[in-house]
Amino acid sequence: MTDAYDELSLFHENAEEYGLAFDREHPPTVRRASVEAPSGHQISALVWGDGDPEVVFLHGGAQNAHTWDTVAIALDRPLLAIDLPGHGHSQWRSAKDYRPQLIADDIAHTIATLAPGASTLVGMSLGGLTAIATVARRPRLVERLVVIDVTPGVNREKASVVTNFIAGPESFASFDEILERTVLFNPTRSEASLRRGILHNAHELDDGSWTWRYDRFTPEGLDDVDQLTHFDDLWADIESIEHPMLFLKGSDSPVVDEDDLTELRRRKPDVEIVVVDGAGHSIQGDQPVELARLLDGFLAAR
């Protein structure tokens, strides 16, 4: 077995990699919290800071709340990072169905419980679609919405950069094996950051093998690729949202194309769209400091 994993002990690595100030003697206050959602399932989250959370983050499919660690350090605001159902430390569901429309009520309840005064909801990929569904159903929950590199127009071809990785093996003989595959699919990311990501997103079994800390999206009658790439009905949700909305696209990401942006502008003419240079689909992984800067500006524009 490897050394005991402490999920709150690696923040200094995030800060050092991006040149952010970090006091190892007085690290950020971060705690894990859990809420029983209306569905009866437990939803887990990381609460950053001592004050009431100002911002709530929803990660992408096959990720977890720790994907926002560097952004949280750079942003330096009280915030809440939620593990989506079936991800991280949140409970898996026997139906294996994690579509945004089905989990929105549980996410809204978690936000209302742990971050009742939050002004802004930020979601990336599956978390972005979930944020759209949540705000459309609970418009008074937050005041602002940020969606990162996803629209309801995502399809199988555009999402292949994501789904090809997720569709891979569920378990690996060793940590080196799971790291090797992760590096292969993330050639622009540092090995140190990918190592941290695996420690947060996988766990070691008693026999020394490793398996992911997220459930496969395989509800009956719907394969996992279709699960991730059929969300056309969420365009109507976008059209219904009156909140200020910031949309961020990674310059190198194939997940969102010009047709998507055209439709987004048609559905929500007041949307602010920013292309983040040097970023792929996971902007928080590729350009976390720039993402924090953009979020800080959006939060300040009240």
Among 69, 281, 282, 286, which one carries the catalytic annotation?
Answer: 281
Among 125, 193, 253, 282, which one carries the catalytic annotation?
Answer: 125
Tokens standing for residue 121: 């909801």
Long-range CB contacts for residues 288-292, cutoff 8 Å, separation at least 24: 288/18, 288/70, 288/71, 288/74, 289/18, 289/20, 289/70, 289/74, 291/71, 291/148, 291/248, 292/70, 292/71, 292/74, 292/75
59 as an active site residue: the answer is no
Among 149, 215, 237, 260, which one carries the catalytic annotation?
Answer: 149
Q: How far is CA 96 from CA 39, 105, 106, 215, 259, in A?
A: 14, 17, 15, 7, 31
Which stretches within the chain are classed as H helix?
11-17, 69-75, 100-114, 126-137, 160-166, 175-185, 191-201, 224-229, 234-240, 258-267, 283-286, 288-300
Q: What are phi and psi of 122, to 5 degrees?
A: -115, 130
Residue pair 231/222 in contact by the 8 Å Cβ criterion: no
Q: How far apart are the first and last CA of the chain?
A: 50
Interior angle at CA 57, CA 301 and CA 212, nearest 5 = 155
149 as an active site residue: the answer is yes
34 as an active site residue: the answer is no
For residue 94, the one-letter residue type is S
Interior angle at CA 31, CA 66 and CA 100, nearest 5 = 50
User: Residues with Cβ < 8 Å from 128, sequence gap 6 or more?
Assistant: 58, 60, 147, 148, 149, 150
Residue pair 80/47 in contact by the 8 Å Cβ criterion: yes
Catalytic residues: 125, 149, 281
